[in-house]
Amino acid sequence: MKHVIGQSGEISLIFEEDVLSTNVDRLKDQIDKIMELPVVKSANLQKLVLDMKLVKMVDSMGLNLLVNLVKSEKNKGRIVSALVTSLHLHRTLLFTRMDKQMEITLIS
C-alpha cells in the first residue's frame, strides 16, 4: 500500500490489491503504520481518501476493515472519501450503505 499526503490537508491511501480475508490483516498493519508516521501525524489532516481504483473486490472481512477505518477517521473529525473504478465494488459499497458514511466516487 502506498500513501500520498496532499497539500490541502488530505492523505490518500492507495490500495494496490483486492481487500480480502487473505490479506486484510496485512493491509490493516500497513494502514496503521502509515497513519502513525510522524509526517502523517504532524500534517493536520482533514480528509482521508481511499484510492481503490485498482480494487475489484472486497469481501466481508475487507468491508469490516473499511467500516472500522471510516469510523475511526470520522471520530477524529476527518472526512473520508473513496475513489473506485469497479462497478461491482461500487455496487457493493452502495448495497452496504457505505455511501452514508463516506463520499464514494465512481470513476469511469
What is the pLDDT confidence band of residue 43, given thresholds at 50, 70 and 90?
confident
pLDDT of residue 54: 97
pTM of the model: 0.94
What DSSP character marks residue 13? E
Q: Cα separation of 99 and 88, whole Å?
A: 14
Percent of the chain with pLDDT over 90: 90
Structural domain range at position 29:
2-106
What is the pLDDT confidence band of residue 42, given thresholds at 50, 70 and 90?
confident
Amino acid at 54: L
Whose cell is 499526503? That residue is: 5
CATH number of the domain to which 97 belongs: 3.30.750.24
What DSSP character marks residue 21? T
8, pLDDT greater than 90: no
Query: What mean pLDDT value characterizes the chain?
Result: 95
Structural domains in the chain (count): 1
Q: Cα separation of 94 and 62, whole Å?
A: 15
68, pLDDT greater than 90: yes
